[in-house]
Amino acid sequence: MRFHLEASLRLSADAGAAEKAISDFIRDAGPILEKGAPEGQGAKITEWRLAKNRIDLVIDSDRYVRAHDALLRLRRPLSELLGKQYRIGVRGMDVTAFEIEVESDREIAHRIPYVREMRHEGGRLRLILDVGEGGTLGQSEIENRIPDRIVSLLEEKLEKGYGGKTEHWELLWESEKREPKFRADPTEEMQKAGWIKHGSARGQWIYGPQATHLFRTFEAIVLEEIIGPLGYQEMIFPKLDTWDVWKKSGHAQGVYPEIYFVCPPKTRDPAFWEEVMDYYKVTHEVPLELVKEKIDLPIGGMCYAQCPTFWGFLQGMTLPNGELPMRVFDRSGTSHRYESGGIHGIERVDEFHRIEIVWLGTKEHTLEEAEKLKGCYKHIFEDILELTWRTAWVTPWFMAQEGKTGLSEMTGAGTVDYEAILPYNGNWIEFQNLSVNGEKYPKGFTVKAQSGEALWSGCSGVGLERWASAFLSQKGLDPSNWPEEFRRRFGEMPKGIRFL
């Protein structure tokens, strides 16, 4: 990796009298430009000149001391030198050319922010950054480490290009294989039996009394076997996630292809919307192109992961030691994801129903709570639902979204997926997960403990559609084939809705 930077340091006065001192400083700047790099590596000033109240520099470097870092390193000691001896200050910096070059056997198709042009020649990819007059990258962006983020993004894109990163998956435990009582697609059978019907939106279902009662039974099991015994308190989390929430939670790094965006109207003034309403009255069609002109930029999206909005309740607060661990849950509304992998039945839907379980405390609290939850889930899936299922250690969501694989660097943090076999197609479906997220959320939302000890958190989403898919795929719709304990909790099958 190579960097080429042409920049100027703006001075508060003509520095002609200081030219010899500046020359000596630049001649002896090697230790500053090479600090932290292997011997013979780092940055070098390949050209420079003094132009009255401006020092023009050309810096070439490798990956060890990047050229923009070298420029920042020079600023302070040079400012001290000129200030003490010549009463001249360094007022700022201007960037006139900035190029990054990496080895690559291919081009990158998508535009990268702050990059004006990309060229692929002779096995190298050259990025020409958008600097100079009218450019988007200047002093503020250099100081805010934008070039480093460009490099990270570039490396991620190049690495993904070679087949993409595969998620880490490691089997932890597997139940005994139970003979399935059913081998049909449960969604198709539920439709035939009148339990469910398609909603009007993509990946959306309307659940009749029978399916709803099944969901409520799952919900009651969670309340009786997890929420009550472990002492979780119910809360209501907002179901609109703003950009501010997603930036703090980390979702803003990669959530865009899967969210349903929320755009407010530019105004509530009926006169502003009159032509839209008139068009509908005449045509009985909604003029979507016209509507698009009258809505504002997205303020965020519909609930995607359920727990991020909870953290606004704790943001910036310090929690008393006696309140830890904190245990809460939410079951107040739907979650929405645009399933890029394709929707299928009630297994992969865009609108789904979940109970979100969240806990936080010290690292020890959080890991201990995770083990308690794992014990509760095992009891439910083995003794009540009697599923054929397994657990696996997988790439945590917060690493997958950053293009990383493997296990978390934070020992103990990570995600366990619960998977059940679908007899009708032989595939395994992830129907439950449990994540220990380490310090990610407390740090992102600046939540502290009275003791000063680092806070950790965890979350676990109970997806009712996924539980139904796993259970009905193996047991079918006939209650006589259901485990006795589950049948007892389910009670009488609702009559359902009949049609002529």
Question: What are the binding residues?
Answer: 305, 307, 337-339, 348-349, 354-356, 401, 430, 433, 459, 466
Question: Nearest 5 degrees, angle CA 327-CA 460-CA 493?
Answer: 100
Annotated binding site for Zn(2+): 307, 356, 459
* Active centre residues (catalytic): 307, 337, 339, 348, 356, 417, 430, 433, 459, 466
Residue 204 · residue 348 · CB < 8 Å: no
DSSP of 71-90, one letter per residue?
HHHHHHHHHHHHHHHH---E
Q: Are 472 and 193 in contact (CB under 8 A)?
A: no
340 residue type, one letter: S
| Locus of tokens 């993509």 | 202
Provide the CB-side half-sphere exposure for 273 (13 A, CA): 14
What span, in angstroms and rounded, lies between the C-alpha atoms of 96 and 242?
37
Is the distance from CB of 79 to CB of 89 less than 8 angstroms? yes
CA distance 81 to 69: 19
3-state secondary structure of 359: strand
Number of residues in the chain: 500
Q: Is 428 exposed, middle or buried (0-12, 13-18, 19+ CB in 10 A)?
A: middle
Instruction: Extract the runs of DSSP E, i.e. beta strands, from 66-156.
Output: 90-103, 115-121, 124-129
Neighbour count for residue 478 (Cβ, 10 Å): 12
Helices (H), 231-354: 243-249, 270-283, 288-294
Binding site for ATP, by residue number, is: 337-339, 348-349, 430, 466
Collect all residues with Cβ–Cβ distance below 8 Å to 222 and sequence separation of at least 6.
355, 380, 462
> Do 363 and 350 meet the contact criterion of CB atoms below 8 Å apart?
no
Please report where in the chains the tokens 């245990």 appear, as a residue: 327
Instruction: Report the alpha-carbon distance of residue 432 to residue 464 in Å, rounded.
Output: 9
Strand pairing category for 240-242 and 205-207: unpaired
Report which residue type is found at 169: W
Is the peptide bond prior to 287 cis by the omega test (within 30 degrees of 0)?
Answer: no
388 C-beta neighbours (distance < 10 Å), count:
21
CA separation, residue 22 to residues 8, 64, 75, 85, 177 (Å): 14, 25, 12, 11, 77
